[in-house]
Structure 1
Amino acid sequence: MKTSTSIIYLLLLIMTSCAQPKAEEPVVYIYVEEPHSYAKPNNAFIKHLKLDLTVDFKTEVISGKATYDIKNNNSTQIILDSKFLDIEAVNADGKETEFSLGANDKILGQPLTITISRDTKQIEIIYKTTKDTEALQWLKAQQTADKTDPFLFTQGQAILTRTWIPIQDSPQIRLTYEANVQVPKGLMAVMSAENPKEKTENGMYHFKMQQPIPAYLIALAVGNFDYKAISDRTGVYAEKSMLTKVHDEFSDMEKMVTAAEQLYGDYDWDQFDVIVLPPSFPFGGMENPRLTFATPTVIAGDKSLTSLIAHELAHSWSGNLVTNATWNDFWLNEGFTVYFEMRIMEALYGKERANMLAAISRQDLNDELENLKDTPSATKLKLDLKGKNPDDGMNSIAYDKGYLLLRTLEETVGREKFDAFLKQYFKEHAFSTITTDKFVTYLTTNLLQKNKLTFNIDEWINQPGVPQNQAIINSDKFKIVEQTLEEFIATDKIDKDMTKEWTSQEWVHFIRNFPNTMTADQMKALDTVFNFTNSTNSYIQMVWYEQALNYDYHGKNVDKKIETFLTTVGRRWYVETIFKAYKRNDRMEDALKIYEKSRPNYHSVTANTIDMLLGYEPEPEVVILEK
């Protein structure tokens, strides 16, 4: 009797347990450890973001609400990145919830830890930006081209989006987003999303980005600018006085998109527009999807600097479509993009134009290798930036050593096979992220082993410097430039007619390669003939002013011109190059005087770099309290 009762009880227990709903099994995600984000995406991550924001130029504050659809992997908290933000309230599934801001790190900011339940699907954050927000640059009307209205733009790369939106600020976390943005009447707002072509009457703008992107590509610009189409899917935004000039300069944009698609597959972002920002923008360009941000310094009047547009377009595949998983893998974004840029330029303007650009890239790499000779580990493609600002890895190594590796691979395997490999790579990894190690595995399997090739890929990626097996880049036009320079040094004479068809790249090569024996008198002779000091080409200005400092040339009021350049242009590469020349030539006192004037015009990205270069410590802001 006991035995049969026990059996019946056991059967009932089994039946009851089978009827109980099983606890949801945790999902295994494959996000890698990220040294530049507090987020723990394997526990919970953002899938979609909705912003409802107001832009206030009087207080220089963006305020409002961010709503996030999240994927919760059975977690009781989600962690976002926040830096210099005022977090006012947080809700989870419509109810107020607990949150905490952790210790502040100078580079990373603070972890924003939010309490959620295991089935939370949505969170909401009410917040404001502050005066310290690094991504934003608020410009007065006089700092713009037309000088009629204020301007605002954001710069998120590498980890600055967290300073204007609380976000999981890691490149491996992709999300879609939408936004409602209220701006003052009479101004237009645009984002890295579907954009308006005309101003609205009430200053309210609506945006939608339907393709998933990493947080660093969320971007906003607000100002008095207009739109002019180039084709059905390309066009430009610029202030009124610049719109026609910008449209003419970038009129080949549709041809560039077509050439890019013929190389490596369909353009997957629907629209490719460019907005030209005020001159304080810290980069040449920023590849925000659907809307590249660009510096006015590329408007040369002869399309000679539009390789920058080809570069930002190329990012639509390498960077935006297939993204470096961490900033240690930054070369995967930029090395591929420089290679793709050269191929677009070759397709549109010929092999010699592309070779000139490639030769300058090689010179830039040599200069960077010299700059980093005391820290050889910084010349590896795969970096270790833990504890460092990821901006430290944004140099010629990622761009130009990365490009040289890919060009060497192309010459090793042959262009046809290499193009097929890249097209397959972009297609198979679309809208995803990749680490250097995964790329090496993919390369080995799909290119090297497939073609029975032995290639020292580990040396290229994990060792300092440049291996011996490297592509040799030659330019016939640069050989003529070098001969012309040699003749001038020997005779102090130069045939102006011989140089009248030279491009910006030829002039840059000419000026950059002045010998150590160059004299201030020879600089004066060249300036008399070619008027370099008063050039309207910013690239030529930059290299000429650097050489004027190197060779102690003061003619044509060049010192004043350099000061004007530094106080009106905020492009970090240009500014850093010239301030380095001041420092190298023991003119620190002059440099610091100019920097005191120019620093307020710079975006934080540029100011932080020059602060470090010059050892400059800004005075703390004094706050006067009313009685």
Structure 2
Amino acid sequence: MNFRTSRPITAAALAGVLGACAPAVEPASAPSAASPAQAPAGAQTPMATLVRDVHSFAQPNEARVTHVALDLRADFAAKVISGTAALDVAAAPGADDIVLDTKGLTIRGVTGANGQPLRWALGTADSILGQPLTVQLPAGTRRIIVQYATSPSAGALQWLTPEQTAGKRHPYLFSQGQAILTRSWIPTQDSPGIRQTYEARIVVPAELKAVMSAEMLTPNGEPAEGGRAFRFKLDRAVPPYLIALGVGDLAFRELGPRTGVYTEPAMLERSAYELAELEKFVTAAEGLYGPYRWGRYDILMLPPSFPYGGMENPRLTFATPTILAGDRSLVSLVAHELAHSWSGNLVTNATWQDFWLNEGFTTYFENRIMEALYGPERAAMLANLGWQGLQDAVEAAGGDTGADTRLKIDLTGRDPDEGTTDIAYEKGAAFLRTIEQAVGRPRWDAYLRSYFDRNAFQPMTTEQLLADIRANLIRGDAALEQRIGLDQWAYQPGVPTNAVVPHSGAFAAVEAQAQAFDRGTPAAQLQTSGWSTQEWQHFLGALPQTMTAARLADLDRAFGLSRQGNSEILFAWLQMAVRNRYQPAVPALEQFLTSQGRRKFVRPLFAALMEQGTWGQPLARRIYAVARPGYHPVTATSVDAIVR
């Protein structure tokens, strides 16, 4: 698939379609729509040169969006968000138009700050990228106001019926912008390198509450026609995929001076218990790599259809309820999303081809937080499981020569979601562990802290990172650079032989029990008392790939695996059950796949079912027909390609 490298519609071509495309409209009351916002602290240098992003139509070195002001209304009956987006624009001398990203939006008009209509046109639609919206910029234009509405099928938005929520009384709405879905609900330049501040006024039904990844200016809302209006402001520039919205019957519980949890009332007690140590997480992270720069750190515990484990939206991480194990054993996910407040939100991959800069750094940082809070052995177990995941990811991507096993991945003509594998997460983390071993932890930590300070609120490429390491860590030491192998790690396929392999002493004992079971020891006689979630995961992964129904039944009887409330353990068990066509586990499998939509769990299980031919394929199709309406578009789109 070809991607445009220049404007999709020239100014001359644009002039020919103006009459049909640009009716005059009255500007809506977007926050501060009369004048452009002042550059806040943490703003990106207005016209710093940016690398080309193959996943955006934007031409940011000519004209770029610096601030977004939303005035929107959520219509639950129509499943539509509509209103205005007022965009502050910085333009290079001579620039006469700006190109925005849209997907599925109905554009009703574009005006300047003075309400005068501006010339605009939508370009040719692309199945991955959507459509470019080109707006002409008369001399001196610094703000444009786009009046629009979303589609009921907008890829970023999931509208839940009351029956799909925990409380069963009110509907729910949430957004998921990463990687390039923000353009399906906000017309802006949807590229991670184009950082933007934002403010918003969101009108929702009176019985619901809106929350966003920003400072809440009206905690109780304010009267508005047809409901309540909530106002928000974020004066730190972020990539647009981090502009996030949640609307529902929400309650709040404070967990610390700057931490808390929002969720439906029916889930509040469980969520507050699981996240009780949230303040300690923030303190531990600050002790490693510097101050938390976003003010509050709250978590929105979402309904189970949320497609990811978590999403690191600034000030308000979105999280899946599948982490509510009842024993705080899955809180490493919280450490991961919090770590993104530095690696991802503060210093951001400039394009999705540099995605590993977000996830590799964050996976490493997550493990350091877990070590600080729970000790080296817990961290070692988590790192070891990650290493095992990396081996599987390398094999799935074609082995050590597979092009997609590189950190700097070529995603030209591809959906950026294709890069969200354990290569980015675990190979990236292994790279950083290897540097740590080469230079020593004190020197490495000092470098990382300075790296976040030096590059705060800026986009980053792989090339820029390696230059930064050479300038500020290696400092001309040729022997050190050769020992690390920077370019091999970043640009070559496979995992370099100098990779530091994590080791867990606890896992050796787990492996001994797996071997005993393989030799015939009944499951009830295995020594499993006091095992952590990670030990159970490793145990199930260490068992033979092929087992008889009798042996599987023995495991299930002894450990209640099909009734397991811990999502990670249940997932590992169900993978084993599907692989061995274990019919008694099918009810648990069906319940799991229809009660949550986390893609990490859903996609592999459906893929495994489809690999089981006449046993698994009819089962996959039957379950998916029931489950799909409850999945977020991110999950449904990926499973659609599997279950045919």
Give yes or no for TM over 0.5.
yes
Most deviating of 592-601 and 303-312: 592-601
Pairing of 1:150-165 with structure 2 (within 5 A): 150-165=171-186
Q: Partner amino acid for 1:110?
A: Q
**The residue matched to 2:527 in structure 1 has which SS?**
helix
Q: Which residue of 2 aligns with 1:129?
A: 150
Question: Residue 189 of structure 1 is aligned with which of 184, 207, 210?
Answer: 210
Q: Which residue of 1 aligns with 2:594?
A: 567
Q: Tell me the CA shift for residue 236 of structure 1.
A: 0.3
Instruction: Determine whether 1:91 maps to 2:118.
Output: no
Pairing of 1:253-332 with structure 2 (within 5 A): 253-332=278-357
Question: Residue 438 of structure 1 is aligned with which of 454, 459, 464?
Answer: 464
Q: Tell me the CA shift for residue 495 of structure 1.
A: 5.2
Contact 1:334/1:402 (8 A) holds in 2: yes
Aligned length: 587
Q: Tell me the CA shift for residue 517 of structure 1.
A: 4.7
Q: Tell me the CA shift for residue 413 of structure 1.
A: 1.0
For residues 267-300 of structure 1, what are the alpha-carbon distances to aligned partners after superposition, in whole Å with 9 as ceiling and x for unaligned?
0001100001010000000000000000000000
Assess, with a 3 A threshold, how the Cα gap between structure 1 residues 125 and 437 changes in structure 2: closer, same or farther. Answer: same
Q: Which residue of 1 aligns with 2:501?
A: 472
Question: Residue 400 of structure 1 is aligned with which of 386, 410, 426?
Answer: 426
Distance 1:517 1:564 in 2: 24
Q: Tell me the CA shift for residue 554 of structure 1.
A: 2.1
Most deviating of 352-361 and 576-585: 576-585
Q: Which residue of 1 aligns with 2:609?
A: 582
Q: Which residue of 1 aligns with 2:628?
A: 599
Assess, with a 3 A threshold, how the Cα gap between structure 1 residues 543 and 121 changes in structure 2: closer, same or farther. Answer: same
Q: Tell me the CA shift for residue 488 of structure 1.
A: 1.5
Assess, with a 3 A threshold, how the Cα gap between structure 1 residues 197 and 65 changes in structure 2: closer, same or farther. Answer: closer
**The residue matched to 2:196 in structure 1 has which SS?**
strand
Q: Tell me the CA shift for residue 201 of structure 1.
A: 6.3
Q: Tell me the CA shift for residue 451 of structure 1.
A: 5.5
Pairing of 1:406-421 with structure 2 (within 5 A): 406-421=432-447
Most deviating of 141-150 and 333-342: 141-150
Instruction: Determine whether 1:70 maps to 2:89.
Output: yes
TM-score, scaled relative to structure 1: 0.92
> 5+ residue gaps in structure 2?
1-45
Q: Which residue of 1 aligns with 2:550?
A: 521
Instruction: Determine whether 1:100 maps to 2:121.
Output: yes
Look at both structures and tell me which one has the larger radius of gyration over its CA atoms: 1
Distance 1:524 1:63 in 2: 54
For residues 37-62 of structure 1, what are the alpha-carbon distances to aligned partners after superposition, in whole Å with 9 as ceiling and x for unaligned?
01111111111111000011011110
Q: Partner amino acid for 2:635?
A: T
Distance 2:492 2:429 in 1: 16
Q: Partner amino acid for 1:62?
A: I
Q: Which residue of 2 aligns with 1:12?
A: none
Distance 1:356 1:577 in 2: 22
TM-score, scaled relative to structure 2: 0.89
Q: Tell me the CA shift for residue 141 of structure 1.
A: 0.4
Distance 2:491 2:526 in 1: 48
Q: Tell me the CA shift for residue 29 of structure 1.
A: 3.7
Instruction: Determine whether 1:541 maps to 2:566.
Output: no
Runs of 4+ residues over 6 Å off in structure 1: none
Pairing of 1:163-242 with structure 2 (within 5 A): 163-195=184-216, 199-200=220-221, 202=223, 203-242=228-267
Question: Residue 460 of structure 1 is aligned with which of 489, 494, 501?
Answer: 489
Distance 1:474 1:196 in 2: 48
Contact 1:153/1:222 (8 A) holds in 2: yes
Contact 2:218/2:230 (8 A) holds in 1: no
Q: Tell me the CA shift for residue 447 of structure 1.
A: 1.5
> 5+ residue gaps in structure 1?
1-26, 617-627
Instruction: Determine whether 1:112 maps to 2:133.
Output: yes
Distance 2:513 2:47 in 1: 64
Question: Residue 383 of structure 2 is aligned with which of 351, 358, 361?
Answer: 358
CA RMSD of aligned residues (A): 1.4
For residues 371-426 of structure 1, what are the alpha-carbon distances to aligned partners after superposition, in whole Å with 9 as ceiling and x for unaligned?
11178101100011111000000110000000010011111111111101100100
Q: Tell me the CA shift for residue 196 of structure 1.
A: 6.5
Contact 1:284/1:571 (8 A) holds in 2: yes
Distance 1:126 1:387 in 2: 30
Contact 2:222/2:230 (8 A) holds in 1: no
Distance 2:388 2:582 in 1: 24
* Percent pairwise identity: 48
For residues 283-322 of structure 1, what are the alpha-carbon distances to aligned partners after superposition, in whole Å with 9 as ceiling and x for unaligned?
0000000000000000001111000000000000000000
